Amino acid sequence: MNEVLVYIELQNEKIADVSLELLGKAQDLAKKTSAKCGAILIGNNIKNHHEILFQYGADTIYSTEDLSLKNYAPLPYTKTVCEIVEKSKPQIVLYGATVNGRDLAPRIASKLKVGLTADCTELQIGDYQKKKKGEIKNYKNILYQIRPAFGGNIIATIVSPDHRPQMATVRPGVMKVKKNDKTNSGKVVNIKTDIPQELLITEIIKTIKIEKNVDLNASSIIVAGGMGVGSKENFKLIHKLAKTLGGIVGASRAAVDANFINADHQIGQTGTTVQPKLYIAVGISGQIQHIAGMSNSNRIIAINTDKDAPIFQIANYGIVGDFNDVIPKLIKTFKTLKK
């Protein structure tokens, strides 16, 4: 069976986290289809990344090194990745749904005339039956590309049964990395490219790096506050609980819109996707768009005055009560038991 490939995105000469997350998923998909997992790595001076890619699950690396690929630009990158795909003939190619991943993948799909599903949050392998004009066609081991649609109000499963490769971009933060410490070598297939001058017309004049002041994925504990927290002043209690537990503060969009906290902390469909060991949702009702970004958390505690709040439907522990009353108790109890 043909391979499952992951396009490896380099950001500031480092492999983007999402690329490693995708290698984890690609291994699962490959296993289900009795295939191997591979990486597409292009750029300049990139050999130092080989070991990491093998450790994170690539069996083969398809690589093109060329000075003209030093920085991302749509034209030369499209040409190079298409050449690799045409040579390696994978069944599936996955891309991170980053700004540049979503710039590149559609061009490749357009050139190869294949399907592409944007911003998936889940991928599975399964069978598919197509009925057309009374005829039934059965497909085995098709890629199910699962994503929220219509502003997050529904979940759609998309398939692309008749075209190869099947391609999808996948949200950062939703797939789990799988590190395999035993293997750090594998096969490297070097593919040469010849990029004509007329494709080298994008010149990067300046890049501005804005450091996010929080990395929501840096901690295994998140304490998130919502509209129910009521004010910026009250949010201090959220910060205090987070600090006590050694966690990070998150927020719903309503809390961000109300200026209780800045947008870097937003969790959900239009914010960051997280999957900490523990997620404490305080004064968050649990609308679909919020849940989309945190439902994979290992354990969820919900604190809400409304016993019918939808957040309780996905919570593992629910405390019906006013956070002003509950949080100080949590802090005090934790400190006592810790001693």
Partner 1 sequence: MSYNIIVLAKQVPDTKNITGDAMKPDGTVNRIALPTIFNPEDLNALEEALKIKDEYGAKITVLTMGPPSAAEVLRQSLFRGADDVILLSDRKFAAADTLATSYVLSLAIKKIGKFDLIIGGRQAIDGDTAQVGPQTAEKLKVNQATCVNDIVELTNDSITVNRNTDHGSETIKTKLPILLTITAEANTPRPPSVKKTLTYKNALSLIEKNDYDEEYLKSNKKPFVIKNWDHKDINAKTERCGLTGSPTQVKKIENIVLETGNFKNIENSASGIKNLISELMSEHIIG
Ligand X SMILES: Cc1cc2nc3c(=O)[nH]c(=O)nc-3n(C[C@H](O)[C@H](O)[C@H](O)COP(=O)(O)OP(=O)(O)OC[C@H]3O[C@@H](n4cnc5c(N)ncnc54)[C@H](O)[C@@H]3O)c2cc1C
Residues at the site binding ligand X, with contacts judged by CB under 6 A: 151-152, 226-228, 252-255, 266-271, 283-285, 287, 289-290, 293, 303-306, 309, 322-323
**Nearest distance from C-beta of residue 267 to ligand X, angstroms:** 6
CA distances 282 to 6, 64, 238, 285, 306, Å, are 37, 49, 8, 9, 11
In whole angstroms, give the CA distance from residue 279 to residue 247: 9
- Cβ atoms of 262 and 256 within 8 Å: the answer is yes
Q: Which is nearer to ligand X, 82 or 227 (CB)?
A: 227
| Three-state SS sequence of 245-273 | HCCEEEECHHHHHCCCCCHHHEECCCCEC
Query: What phi and psi, each to the nearest 5 degrees, are found at residue 319?
Result: -120, 115
Q: Does 45 bind partner 1 (CB under 8 A)?
A: no
Contact pattern from residue 54 through residue 93 relative to partner 1, giving x for each residue in contact according to CB under 8 A and a dash for the rest: --------------------xx--x---------------
Q: Which is nearer to partner 1, 45 or 313 (CB)?
A: 313
Binder of partner 1 out of 84, 93, 109, 282 (CB under 8 A): 109
Q: Within positions 156 to 195, which residues make up the interface with partner 1, using CB under 8 A?
A: 156-163
Contact pattern from residue 260 through residue 279 relative to partner 1, giving x for each residue in contact according to CB under 8 A and a dash for the rest: -----------------xx-
**Nearest distance from C-beta of residue 288 to ligand X, angstroms:** 7
Binder of partner 1 out of 2, 122, 155, 227 (CB under 8 A): 155
Q: Does 288 bind partner 1 (CB under 8 A)?
A: yes
**4-7/92-96 β-pairing:** parallel
DSSP code per residue over 61-103: EEEEE-GGGSS--HHHHHHHHHHHHHHH--SEEEEE-STTHHH
In whole angstroms, give the CA distance from residue 111 to residue 195: 16
- Reference 273, options 248, 293, 253; nearest CA is 293
Q: Does 119 bind partner 1 (CB under 8 A)?
A: yes
Q: Which is nearer to ligand X, 24 or 271 (CB)?
A: 271
Choose among partner 1, ligand X, none what residue 254 binds, the Cβ cut-off being 5 to 8 Å by kind: ligand X
Binder of partner 1 out of 113, 133, 192, 339 (CB under 8 A): 113
Tokens 């506050």 found at? 225
- The span of 43-51, 86-94, 252-260, 288-296 binding partner 1 (CB under 8 A) equals 288-296
Q: Which two tokens stand for residue 314?
A: 């996905």
Q: Does 238 bind partner 1 (CB under 8 A)?
A: no
- Cβ atoms of 98 and 9 within 8 Å: the answer is yes
Binder of partner 1 out of 203, 233, 308, 339 (CB under 8 A): 203
**Nearest distance from C-beta of residue 19 to ligand X, angstroms:** 23
In whole angstroms, give the CA distance from residue 310 to residue 291: 10
Tokens 């490297």 found at? 188
Q: Does 333 bind partner 1 (CB under 8 A)?
A: yes
